[in-house]
Amino acid sequence: MGGAALDVTRLSAGYGPVRALREVTLDVPQGSVVAVLGGNGAGKSTLLRAISRTLPYYGGASKGGSVRFGGAPLHTLTADRVVAAGVSQVPEGRQVFARMTVQDNLRAGALGSTGGRAARAAALRRVHGLFPVLAQRAHQRAGLLSGGEQQQLAVARALMAGPRLLLLDEPSLGLAPMMAARIADTIRQINAEGTSVLLVEQNAALALRLASRAYVLEVGEVTLSGPADELAASDEVRRRYLGVV
Ligand code: ATP
């Protein structure tokens, strides 16, 4: 394989006068899991939303730099075209459609797919295999699922578009440790099946276990990067993000 699936070069973004992201450069090699660590307000969500072109219409905007996927520019596309290009995002806080059934949430995820009926059926089989509970609860309203089940649904919904790269915003947020570990196992499995992953997490320990490479974001800038095992061993990361004194 080799080669970078995603190339982010000097990407800046902000909200009105607020500069949330300053010339961030990173890449996600094809087939890999890459993590972005950082505290509250570091710019992690802004980074993912600038890549997926889902910054809020009012006030949020990319302000320079480029994003390429398989060499083709994403930074000139609309959000639906980014999905069609093979990049799907799981937003922070899951944001499932609470009043819709589980099945209809999954159907909504498939709207961005460029594949036909057979591709959608295969995607549904895949997500039911990964998350059997979603098959059992197909006709239940999504809002009635537990937090962990809603996170599974959010990941499954993104997978329905058949992405080659998954952007994951804080998948472990608010979950009990056991459920967070299950989500981590699933991310590993999704990656093993060939989907690259860019993972944003405040839970640095979990992210560094999953990723081969990681970046640390502070006040919108990359301050550290390297192989995940090297970052996990660095004093600064241990002190600031792994709670080791
Ligand atoms: P968290 O984990 O708390 O979501 P984060 O690392 O994802 O943090 P961002 O949400 O990207 O950080 O926020 C980066 C900066 O942009 C912060 O200063 C935040 O206050 C600001 N910001 C984020 N969203 C908006 C918005 N819609 N309007 C104005 N400022 C915003």
Q: Which tens digit of pLDDT belongs to each residue from 88-118?
A: 999 888 789 999 999 999 999 988 777 788 8
Nearest-angstrom CA–CA distance, 26 and 54 = 19
State yes or no: pLDDT of 244 exceeds 90: no
The reported pTM is 0.93
State yes or no: pLDDT of 58 exceeds 70: no
**For residues 33-50, average pLDDT:** 94
Is any atom of ligand 1 closer than 6 Å to the C-beta of 57? no
**For residues 81-88, average pLDDT:** 94
Residue nearest to atom 3 of ligand 1 (CA): 40
Is any atom of ligand 1 closer than 6 Å to the C-beta of 38? yes
Q: Which tens digit of pLDDT belongs to each residue from 172-219?
A: 988 888 989 999 999 999 999 999 999 999 889 999 999 999 999 999
Task: Quote the radius of gyration of the chain (alpha carbons, Å).
Answer: 17
Residue nearest to atom 30 of ligand 1 (CA): 15
Is any atom of ligand 1 closer than 6 Å to the C-beta of 43? yes
Tell me the average pLDDT of the chain.
91
Is any atom of ligand 1 closer than 6 Å to the C-beta of 56? yes
Can you give the pLDDT at residue 82? 95
Q: What ipTM was predicted for this assembly?
A: 0.94
Neighbour count for residue 170 (Cβ, 10 Å): 22
Please give the C-alpha separations between residue 74 and each of 5, 22, 70, 127, 199, in angstroms, as whole numbers: 12, 18, 10, 26, 18
Is any atom of ligand 1 closer than 6 Å to the C-beta of 14? no
Is any atom of ligand 1 closer than 6 Å to the C-beta of 186? no
Atom index in ligand 1 nearest the CA of residue 49 equals: 11
Which pLDDT band holds residue 1 (cuts at 50, 70, 90)? Answer: very low
Higher-confidence position of 2 and 25:
25
Q: Which tens digit of pLDDT belongs to each residue from 46-57?
A: 999 999 999 876
Is any atom of ligand 1 closer than 6 Å to the C-beta of 60? yes
Nearest-angstrom CA–CA distance, 166 and 174 = 20
Q: Which residues pair with 226 in a beta bridge?
A: 214
